[in-house]
Amino acid sequence: MKNIAVFASGSGTNFQAILDSIESGHLKANVTLLVCDRPKAAVIERAERNNIPTFVFYPKEFPSKTAFESLIIEELKQAEAELVVLAGYMRLIGETLLSEYEEKIINIHPSLLPAFPGKDAIGQALEAAVNETGVTVHYVDRGMDTGPIIEQVSIGVNIDDTKADLEQRIHKVEHELYPKVIQDLLHSELMNNK
Q: How does pLDDT run across 90-127, given as a tens digit for each residue?
A: 999 999 999 999 999 999 999 999 999 999 999 999 99
Catalytic annotation, pick one of 109, 138, 171, 187: 109
Domain extent for 16: 2-192
Residue 193 burial by Cβ neighbours in a 10 Å radius (0-12, 13-18, 19+):
exposed
109: annotated active-site residue: yes
The pTM score is 0.94
- Report CA dihedral (133, 137, 141, 143) to the nearest 10 degrees: 20
Give tens-digit pLDDT for 32-66: 999 999 999 999 999 999 999 999 999 999 999 99
**CATH number for 7:** 3.40.50.170
Number of structural domains (the chain) is: 1
